[in-house]
Amino acid sequence: MATLTIKNISDRVVKRLKDRAVQHHRSLNYEVIACLEAAAQATPVDPDALLARVRSLRQKPANFRLTDRTLARLKTAGRP
């Protein structure tokens, strides 16, 4: 296994890492390793595809008008 030295980390970041380590019942070292592993395995984001997906979700259906009556019906839908 390799050894990695990280320099010039702010006290704020160290505090947050220590808090996370406590939450996950790990040492600070193992918490840093877990964070690095998660970051190294993260899938890259395609910003154009993400923007296209968001735009498609934001499109309003044709002939849809949100009224107080519609909103009240939607709030109670599926409730006894």
Residue 2 belongs to some domain of the structure = no
Q: Does residue 9 or residue 80 have the better pLDDT?
A: 9
Residue 25 belongs to some domain of the structure = yes
At residue 80, the pLDDT reads: 67
- pTM for the full model? 0.54
Residue 46 belongs to some domain of the structure = yes
- Structural domain range at position 48: 11-76
Q: What is the mean pLDDT of the chain?
A: 90
Residue 4 belongs to some domain of the structure = no
At residue 31, the pLDDT reads: 96
Residues 6+ apart with CB under 8 A from 21: 27, 28, 30, 31
Percent of the chain with pLDDT over 70: 99
For residues 11-30, average pLDDT: 97
Domain count, the chain: 1
Q: Does residue 50 or residue 58 have the better pLDDT?
A: 50
